[in-house]
């Protein structure tokens, strides 16, 4: 049975802060950071935006491209995030209620650092493939936080992507060709309960964590599917900064042309659970029927999910039925100074 994506959508907040604006507060060398991390600016959620609000808008965009999928037929909804608004109380119920998918559905909030988004995609497509549900929606969304002055503060950003999976041949816009995951216990990044900010192993987050898992997952995926880098039109990797996704792509044998479209982090930052999924929406916005696409996420802790998708003819009919991703990133931006940014991100201690 062929299972695939029947609708996709992204949401990126309008607010941005430039790398220089953060660097000047902490006395950091902005040009060196820009060169080293290949980051220029990042998205910032407003006081009224969170993982739930972005997930609702991304899901509505996915429904708009679904060819009229009845939300009541969505049998499962999963949101991967490390910034669920409540510690106890699901995000998914709010999203399901808002898109009209309640009450006959299964809902779960997932968490696995930056990989939680592709976990939701993996489970959603598997349930459809098993015949358990007609449609399932997988969402990756985050309003991630970096400690003030930490390297993560230059990258931690906000964004969401949603994908509705189904098996109705008339609705498929991209088929799931195959999937593969690669997971080990690697403590490269964590946040303990009640802590505001995560901690990380600095350079340990590179070779043994990001690169080892991303490379092993992508190679395992291509081997399993009998494919090589040259077979793909596009490849998207997790984007903790601007440098890593390009470097891992090159190490695997992909070219700039294959990596360019899904590479959003220099202007978006790291949207954690939303990162590679939002990159994938930018690829679907311009992909051609027949294109093979490799999507490889990475989540600290650590693991990496890979997917091979084959884009269908229907992509040309649906991509303009909702806002495309790149214009959301490039247009209507509101630039913030550090003071307003600190207020919005809850970094200022308020009166009780």
Partner 1 sequence: MFSPARAWREFPQRYRLEAARCTECGKVLYPPRLICPECGGRDFATEVLPRDGTVVTYTVIRVPPAGFTEQTPLPIALVELVNGVRLMVQIADVADPESLEIGMPVRLEFRRVSWDGEAGVIFYGHKAVRATG
* Shortest Å, Cβ 259 to partner 1: 28
238 as an active site residue: the answer is yes
Q: Please choose, from the candidates 276, 30, 244, the residue with its C-alpha nearest in 3D space to the C-alpha of residue 142.
A: 276
Q: Token digits for 229?
A: 């880098």
Alpha carbon dihedral 41, 260, 236, 65, in 10-degree steps, equals 90
- Active-site annotation holder among 41, 49, 57, 82: 82
234 as an active site residue: the answer is no
114 close to 240: Cβ distance less than 8 angstroms = yes
Closer to partner 1 by Cβ: residue 12 or 302: 12
126 vs 259: CA distance, rounded Å: 27
Residues 299-328 that bind partner 1 (CB under 8 A): 323, 327
82 as an active site residue: the answer is yes
346 vs 52: CA distance, rounded Å: 18
Closer to partner 1 by Cβ: residue 94 or 315: 94
- Active-site annotation holder among 114, 119, 153, 213: 114
Closer to partner 1 by Cβ: residue 313 or 337: 337
Check residue 16 for interaction with partner 1 (CB under 8 A): no
116 vs 139: CA distance, rounded Å: 9
170, burial (CB in 10 Å: exposed 0-12, middle 13-18, buried 19+): exposed
Residues 77-106 that bind partner 1 (CB under 8 A): 85-86, 94, 97-100
Q: Token digits for 56?
A: 């609702």
Residues 21-60 that bind partner 1 (CB under 8 A): 46-50, 52-53, 56-57, 60
* Shortest Å, Cβ 51 to partner 1: 11
Q: How many residues bind partner 1 (CB under 8 A)?
A: 25
Closer to partner 1 by Cβ: residue 32 or 334: 334
The 10 Å Cβ neighbour count of residue 301 is: 20
Q: Which residues of the chain form contacts with partner 1 (CB under 8 A)? A: 14-15, 46-50, 52-53, 56-57, 60, 85-86, 94, 97-100, 323, 327, 331-332, 334, 343
Which residues are tagged catalytic? 82, 114, 238
């Amino acid at each position: 049975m062929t299972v695939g994506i029947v609708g996709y959508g992204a949401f990126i907040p309008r607010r941005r802060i430039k790398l220089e604006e953060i660097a000047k507060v902490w006395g950091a060398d902005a040009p060196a950071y820009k060169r080293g991390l290949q980051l220029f600016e990042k998205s910032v959620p407003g006081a009224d935006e969170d993982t739930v609000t972005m997930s609702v808008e991304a899901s509505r965009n996915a429904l708009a491209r679904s060819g009229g999928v009845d939300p009541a037929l969505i049998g499962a909804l999963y949101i991967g995030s490390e910034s669920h608004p409540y510690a106890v109380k699901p995000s998914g119920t709010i999203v399901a209620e808002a898109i009209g998918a309640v009450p006959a559905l299964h809902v779960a909030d997932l968490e696995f650092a930056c990989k939680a988004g592709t976990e939701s995609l993996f489970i959603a497509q598997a349930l459809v493939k098993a015949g358990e549900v007609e449609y399932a929606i997988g969402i990756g969304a985050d309003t991630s936080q970096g400690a003030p002055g930490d390297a993560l503060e230059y990258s931690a950003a906000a964004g969401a992507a949603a994908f509705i999976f189904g098996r109705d041949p008339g609705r498929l816009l991209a088929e799931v060709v195959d999937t593969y995951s690669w997971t080990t216990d690697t403590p490269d990044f964590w946040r303990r309960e009640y802590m505001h900010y995560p901690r990380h192993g600095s350079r340990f987050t590179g070779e043994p964590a990001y690169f080892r898992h991303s490379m092993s997952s992508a190679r395992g995926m291509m081997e399993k599917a009998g494919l090589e880098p040259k077979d793909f039109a596009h490849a998207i990797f997790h984007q903790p900064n601007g440098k890593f996704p390009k470097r891992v792509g090159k190490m695997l044998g992909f070219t700039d042309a294959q990596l360019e479209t899904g590479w959003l982090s220099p202007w978006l930052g790291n949207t954690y659970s939303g990162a590679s999924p939002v990159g994938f929406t930018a690829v679907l916005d311009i992909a051609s029927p027949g294109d093979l696409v490799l999507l490889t996420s990475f989540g600290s802790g650590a693991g990496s999910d890979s997917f091979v998708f084959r884009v269908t003819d229907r992509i040309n009919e649906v991509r303009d039925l909702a806002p495309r991703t790149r214009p959301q990133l490039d247009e209507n931006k509101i630039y913030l100074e550090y003071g307003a940014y600190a207020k919005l991100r809850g970094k200022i201690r308020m009166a009780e």
